[in-house]
Structure 1
Amino acid sequence: MLVVCALILASQLLRGAPLDTRITALLPETDGTERLAQADAKLSATFEQRFMLLVAGTTDAESRAAAKDLRRRLDASGIIAAFDSQSPARPDRLLAPYRYRLLADDLTHDDAQAWRQRGLSRLFTPGVDSDLSRDPFGLLDAWLGERFSGPLSWQDGSPSIATAEGQWSLIGATLTASPYAMAVQRTLTETIAEFGAAHPDVRLLRAGLVFHAAAGARQAQQEITTIGLGSLFGILALLALVFRRPIVLATLLLPVATGLVFAGALTWTLFGSLNLITLAFGASLIGISVDYALHLQCARQLHPARPLSRLWPGLTLGLLSSLCAYLVQLATPMPGLRQMATFTALGLIGAWLSVRLWLPLLPLHPHSATQSIARRLNRLRLTRRHPGLYAGVGLALVAAIALAIGQGSTSHDLRQLNPSPASLIDQQHRVQTLLERPATLRYLLVGADSSEALLQRLETLTPTLAELERNGHIASYQHLAQAVPSMATQQANLARVRQRYSEALAGLLDDAGLPATLEDRLGAPLEEVPVLTPATWLESRAGEADRALWLEDTRRAGGTPSALVMIGDVDAAGQAALTRLAESDDVIYRDRVQALSAQLADLSDEILQWLAVALALLVLTFGWRYRRRAWRVLLPPVGAVIITLGVFAAGHIPLTLFHLLGLLLVLGIGLDAGIFSTEHPADPGAWLAISLSCASSLLAFGLLAFSATPALHFLGTTCLIGLIATWCLVPLARGVVGQGPTADPTPDGQRLSTTQEIPRHGPA
């Protein structure tokens, strides 16, 4: 089975089967998900490989010179597919044939006298390029000035933004490869660092996914070097200190590797893809599956003559209890939760099978140090009854429950999981503010039966959006109908232009002293005017920025055409207004951060609910097997979870999804500790294995509490508190060793007394 799984996994990796990195792939499908997924994919494909840099020197000339040098360095780096144009983006030549169908709002409401006055002003104003033969009233200039005005200006062949603190020169570019490619990140970072060293007085602002990805990669590398290697060396040193044999260390890692291969291959095959979050959560196999090997090795080291048949019931029950905790989650509507549960369950099965079938066949290499350590550690036990101690622990658990219920809270804001440095987030926001461009975090998804109906629907939304912008409730909005009016609007504009020509053109020629014979020639182009279509606009260079706003893919897939209305920053009133707009069947409001946060909250709620179901099933199972001793099994896992929740509530730390995933890990390790402390209460080997399990898991996961990555920090903090609590509660679960039914019989049928110790030397 393992060979087949290894071949499946190897084939997946060799053929380059991609890992799914989308968090949304783990969340449940809702109404409109397919269209929203297409919209998100279109935005990602358009913007994820782009980045922008703003350069400012002490003078305007220095800014332009520094920007040219940086552009030259980037061009020589080989990672740039294309730079943004260095010339104005006003599409005068493209839109010239359609000028009579494109009417600015001011000209729409002006009468014939105002049109005539506008024509005269343009004709006799110095510096105004008036094309009397084609556009005597300046229709195209008015349209472009209204639709394409912005903060950018072009000086010396370079786009720039003038601010109170000086001029910023803009460099926009598209990468040749994914922003997650390490080579691209490294080259871009080095190029910008070299530029900064050559221009120490120049300020630089950055915006783009590649910078956030590079910052995350740097942070991950640093933490792998510090926390990752530290935990690895710590675990190896701990196990080496106890077992003193390299072969034993290898046997402890074998179940972990077996579980990962088993789970990875089968989960990838069952689900068709493997999400990175599933893979990260599956790392809990290290903390749980190694328990099986630890218990087996400790039993063989300390009791080489004892038959292993006494160990298998505890190991089997530990596996079944963990499977129960995970497999009940298969009933949830969350695809991600089902995938994570399947991965973990399969991994535990694979690890358990290797411990059950393989490890007993490997040669035994005991060391006297192992027995010495077990004997000393076994002194940490209760030698007499302590009613006050149990009462105190009970009161502490009740207080923790009260705190968790009264002061506990949750938080699922996706922004708190952002590992990017605050300075980089501020730079991104400032670049968007200076460019007056909305971010891709909020949009309206609008659908209609045809492209024409869709443009008309966008036009009906414009008055409401414009009013929200004027009142400061939204920072900006952008949709395709601002650049390409509907055919109905273009036809109405053409009719109005023809009327104004008939009313104002003769007077304009007369006031300008031009011959009246020009009237027929100037009015002739109005007879046949082409219609501007979305396809014409989007295929042009000027329309590149709008391509993400028009979703033709939905129509080709058999759906209705859709369009996006990008929305800038929104306040509470704007949020409410946009939500009201989305009450229509053809409009969906999407706040990508808020929507993802809400779905993460749903996922967390599902985990809590099914965790409660799993605990109920475990109580029934342990009650059936252990009767009145069931509380001893449940005390370490449940008590540790309660204490952890109480600590978070007392510290006013809201729970996130990653806190809950950490609680699942604590519950799994705690269940094994409770089972083995109840099955073998007087066995020093069981107590040694439990201690090693908690210690190794603390090193593997508890050190993540010091991570600067929020998700890992939350997971690590939970494990740090929960695993310490688990280890501290196990002596209470063992009870007073040597008294009552909790004592562990020796191989010859006698019972160990509370003071009896194992031999100081190993077997001959």
Structure 2
Amino acid sequence: MSSATSLMPKQRVFIATWFAILLCAAVFCIQYISKDQVFESNILGLLPSSISADFNQPTIAAIGVERKFIILVASNNTSPTTALNASIELQSKLTKLQSVDIDSHNGNELQRLKDFYRPYVNQLLTADWRHRLTIESPQNIAKKRYTELFSPAQPYHPHNIQIDPFNLAGDWFNKLLPSQEQFRASEIPSLKDGNQLWYIVSGKLNTSPFSPSKQQAITDTLKEFTLQNPDIKILKSGVIFHAAEAASLSKKEISTVGAGSILAIIILVIVVFRSSAALFAIITTLGISVLIGLTSCFLIFEKVHLITIAFGSTLLGLAVDYCFHFLIKYRQLNDAKLTGKRILRGLIFSAATSILAYIFQLISPLSGLQQIAVFMCSGLAAAAINIVVLSFYFHDSRSFSRSLNIFPKYIAPYYLKLAKAKRVTSLVLLIIFIILMTVVINKNGSDDIRNLNSSSQALLKSEVKVQTLLNFPDNQRYLKITAENSQELLNLSATVGHTLNNLGVPTPNANVIGLVLPSISQQQSDFSLIQEKIYGPHGALNELCKLLANDCSAWQLNNITFNPSLLLKNLPQDVKTLAPAFLMSQERETRILLPRNIPITQEFNEFVSSTAKIAYIDNVENLSRSLQLFRHETSLALGVFLITFSLIMLAIYRSNAFAPLITLGISITTSIALGASTGISLFHILALLLVIGLSVDTAVFYLELGLNSETWLAASLSTITSTLAFGLLALSEVPILHQFGSVVFTGLICTWLICPLIFYLFNVNIDHNTKNSPSLCNKEKLS
């Protein structure tokens, strides 16, 4: 390193301030990362808060689905004892985890429901009982009950015959919990699926499923269990498993992209520069850019998404570009300060353009994109500042004349031949551009939010299988019902519930608040019907007593009273968790979850549209439409940016600006046409921001320093490192990263190949006197 004695006082203050900022950023990052849960893997964390809140509440978070998990255990052989013992072992292992509360399955839940409904047994009727009491005679009702009492197959009977002689509560509970007979009540309940017996281990997390430490604890326990029980197969359902898989995959992608890029940079520096000073300059610049990017995100956002870090790995491609241009120009001039002055204008313009492009992401409502914008803008600014600092100190005595011979000896002659055939080459480029533009215009949008799911196919199949076996509703599709008061809400929801069943949309009573908690008017009507048809002087109870030859004095004939306290506002908290309808209902609003995989028919749509105060909500569809809207808005903002950028380029570089602008247009079109193979998504459009940054970097340095051996070598080295990074992203299993990487990878290669050709065709700032360039002709030959 050279001496700093010649530095001006302002420069020394600038350097001291920069080092102080870096020190504070390092200390802050270390302290912040030491906290738990500073990184987020939830895909909803990328979405606007308003949408993610509606996506979660109250359908997921309110009923506790986010923290619940279910594991089904079965044996690969015919012995059910093997699966039972294994499920007991798994439950024991999970019980030992501090973050998990295992469901006891001891009957307490059903008992709580029985105790809750006990005071109201004579004012609650199912639709079937209401119909029977209305049309059947007391004699027929009594005869059917008499036969039922002596049947060997007794139905579920929650109360004794003296309290509930006609088992009204039994039918009520069968409608409320229709699948209770599907399970065997024991220490480990089981579920029959054809010839397969599944044992159910279920529980709930007492913390967020997106906590890395809690994810690790459960996944390690399951991994250990499966290794110890090779004859056992399991099915998993729960956010925790998807979150753990997404976090693991994101970390893998981050390490792969980051390690691959850094390894490529180190190899390139060793091969080309053969200098520890050059390697130190590049590594420190990259490290500082990442440090400042992380610090900025931590200061602004409470948590940083892992996708942001994965995207941030692409920062290496732009930051290293600045380093390569500085190092190669330094080898030519052998003076760090002079090198800094020579590249300063190009450095500022290039960094400012990329930063301006990413600033457009800040207007996006997607919080994940805002994080990426902050990370990239601050990181690029830090990289550019560090190059300025390097220009005060850097010193290196090595050279690489062999690398400088590559362009004039092997590359430039081919561009020169194409430039000589200017008309033919231009025509071919125009035809290719028109074809690619036609492909882009004919591409459809790809906005389905499910395309962003990073869970493996095995986990998705497991989730669907569990949801189907347990007959869970679709918690993202529901009817939203509003009313003026709670009694109107109960009446309206009950009507909707009955109508849904008539329309072929089977909806369990437990999902409809009006069917598990009837309105006072309905309760009074049912009470009157029971009082008359069962307990009246000529009611069914008298007829039953005659058949039984019993005076029924112990049954308290004609001694039933109406209890008016069964109201929505009086629901105990411990009961609310026992049925989805309780949790999803407030005084004036409720939601009815729809069955899974039931198609929405025209009759259903007509019913919803013709009924006041109800609305059909499909969160997945709504979110997909939101992504489509964001794609359109981002495309418009990108168009405005390109127009603004073009005007600035024309104002600064005059006619020479056409070369980089044409390069940029071809690169953008090519990257979308070839990189967005399955349709254009929001993330394909956002990837164009980096394509613009890389294209502008290359073109601006060609304009500022000339297209010669040094600038071509710097652009090529940057292309190699970035190509590796984005090539790895294009192979990613994370859909967002794959879409991003495919577009940038294609645009990067296109820019590297096309930019020099356009400069030769327009004869823009080509250095014809480049050392060791005998094959380059003079300016007259080109013209």
CA distance in 1 between partners of 2:63 and 2:426 (Å): 57
Change (3 A) 1:412 1:127: closer
Give matches, 1:340-419, under 5 Å: 340-356=372-388, 358-368=389-399, 370-379=400-409, 380-381=411-412, 382-383=415-416, 385-387=420-422, 388-406=424-442, 408-419=443-454
1:742 match: 765
Task: For residues 230-284 of structure 1, give each alpha carbon's deviation from its aligned partner in whole angstroms, at most 9, with x where no partner exists.
Answer: 3331222112222222332232233444344444444554566655544544444
Give matches, 1:329-344, under 5 Å: 329-331=361-363, 337-338=369-370, 340-344=372-376
Query: How many angstroms does 1:732 deviate by?
Result: 0.9
CA distance in 1 between partners of 2:184 and 2:619 (Å): 34
**Quick check: 1:678–1:733 contact (8 Å CA) kept in 2?**
no
Task: For residues 42-72 of structure 1, give each alpha carbon's deviation from its aligned partner in whole angstroms, at most 9, with x where no partner exists.
Answer: 2484433423324245144444344333323
Query: How many angstroms does 1:139 deviate by?
Result: 1.1
1:145 match: 174
Amino acid at match of 2:490: L
2:131 match: 109
**Quick check: 1:417–1:710 contact (8 Å CA) kept in 2?**
yes
**Quick check: 2:322–2:347 contact (8 Å CA) kept in 1?**
yes
CA distance in 1 between partners of 2:516 and 2:578 (Å): 11
1:463 match: 498
- Alignment of 1:610 onto 2:637: yes
Change (3 A) 1:291 1:333: same
**Quick check: 1:438–1:567 contact (8 Å CA) kept in 2?**
yes
CA distance in 1 between partners of 2:28 and 2:488 (Å): 50
Query: How many angstroms does 1:225 deviate by?
Result: 6.0
1:762 match: none
Query: How many angstroms does 1:619 deviate by?
Result: 1.3
Provide the secondary structure at the position in 1 that maps to 2:656.
helix
CA distance in 1 between partners of 2:732 and 2:449 (Å): 18
CA distance in 2 between partners of 1:279 and 1:462 (Å): 46
Task: For residues 527-586 of structure 1, give each alpha carbon's deviation from its aligned partner in whole angstroms, at most 9, with x where no partner exists.
Answer: 253633446655346x5243685257xx7xxxx653332222245434883586278674
Query: How many angstroms does 1:170 deviate by?
Result: 1.6
Provide the secondary structure at the position in 2 that maps to 1:445.
strand
Q: 2:193 aligns with which of 146, 163, 185?
A: 163
Query: How many angstroms does 1:337 deviate by?
Result: 4.6
1:714 match: 739
Provide the secondary structure at the position in 2 that maps to 1:441.
strand
**Quick check: 2:659–2:764 contact (8 Å CA) kept in 1?**
no
Q: Give TM-score, length-normalised by structure 2.
A: 0.84
Give matches, 1:62-461, under 5 Å: 62-76=82-96, 80-87=100-107, 89-90=109-110, 91-110=113-132, 111=136, 112-125=138-151, 128=154, 131-150=160-179, 152-154=182-184, 156-220=186-250, 223=253, 228-270=258-300, 274-305=304-335, 308-331=340-363, 337-338=369-370, 340-356=372-388, 358-368=389-399, 370-379=400-409, 380-381=411-412, 382-383=415-416, 385-387=420-422, 388-406=424-442, 408-461=443-496
Provide the secondary structure at the position in 2 that maps to 1:742.
coil
Provide the secondary structure at the position in 1 that maps to 2:101.
strand
Task: For residues 142-178 of structure 1, give each alpha carbon's deviation from its aligned partner in whole angstroms, at most 9, with x where no partner exists.
Answer: 2112221216321554422223223222221223544
Query: How many angstroms does 1:671 deviate by?
Result: 0.9
- Alignment of 1:55 onto 2:87: no
1:486 match: 519
Query: How many angstroms does 1:304 deviate by?
Result: 2.0
Provide the secondary structure at the position in 2 that maps to 1:735.
helix
CA distance in 1 between partners of 2:53 and 2:755 (Å): 50
CA distance in 2 between partners of 1:231 and 1:549 (Å): 53
Change (3 A) 1:206 1:619: same
- Alignment of 1:679 onto 2:729: no
Q: Give TM-score, length-normalised by structure 1.
A: 0.86
Change (3 A) 1:278 1:65: closer
Moved more, 570-579 or 687-696: 570-579
- Alignment of 1:39 onto 2:72: no
Query: How many angstroms does 1:197 deviate by?
Result: 4.4
Provide the secondary structure at the position in 2 that maps to 1:696.
helix
CA distance in 2 between partners of 1:213 and 1:335 (Å): 19
Amino acid at match of 2:245: A
RMSD of equivalent CA atoms: 3.5
Give matches, 1:718-733, under 5 Å: 718-733=743-758
Unaligned runs of 5+ in 1: 758-764
Moved more, 274-283 or 655-664: 274-283
**Quick check: 1:636–1:673 contact (8 Å CA) kept in 2?**
no
Provide the secondary structure at the position in 2 that maps to 1:515.
coil
Change (3 A) 1:138 1:272: closer
Task: For residues 164-218 of structure 1, give each alpha carbon's deviation from its aligned partner in whole angstroms, at most 9, with x where no partner exists.
Answer: 2232222212235443444444443444344444544333222122222333344
CA distance in 1 between partners of 2:44 and 2:758 (Å): 42
Change (3 A) 1:254 1:269: same
CA distance in 1 between partners of 2:352 and 2:594 (Å): 51
1:529 match: 563
Q: 1:505 aligns with which of 507, 531, 541?
A: 541
Query: How many angstroms does 1:420 deviate by?
Result: 1.8
**Quick check: 1:67–1:169 contact (8 Å CA) kept in 2?**
yes
- Alignment of 1:495 onto 2:524: no
Unaligned runs of 5+ in 2: 1-16, 777-783
1:760 match: none
Paired-residue identity, %: 25
Change (3 A) 1:35 1:67: closer
CA distance in 2 between partners of 1:307 and 1:59 (Å): 78
Query: How many angstroms does 1:39 deviate by?
Result: 2.0
CA distance in 1 between partners of 2:160 and 2:728 (Å): 72
Query: How many angstroms does 1:17 deviate by?
Result: 7.8
CA distance in 2 between partners of 1:333 and 1:73 (Å): 43
Provide the secondary structure at the position in 2 that maps to 1:523.
coil
Moved more, 49-58 or 233-242: 49-58
Provide the secondary structure at the position in 2 that maps to 1:507.
helix
Aligned residues: 734
Amino acid at match of 1:120: Y
Amino acid at match of 2:428: G
Provide the secondary structure at the position in 2 that maps to 1:55.
strand
**Quick check: 1:81–1:174 contact (8 Å CA) kept in 2?**
yes
Amino acid at match of 1:480: I
Task: For residues 311-370 of structure 1, give each alpha carbon's deviation from its aligned partner in whole angstroms, at most 9, with x where no partner exists.
Answer: 2221222123223323345555666555543443333223222223x11112211422x3
CA distance in 2 between partners of 1:756 and 1:170 (Å): 77
Query: How many angstroms does 1:422 deviate by?
Result: 1.2
Amino acid at match of 2:499: T
Query: How many angstroms does 1:644 deviate by?
Result: 1.9
Amino acid at match of 2:166: F
Provide the secondary structure at the position in 1 that maps to 2:566.
coil
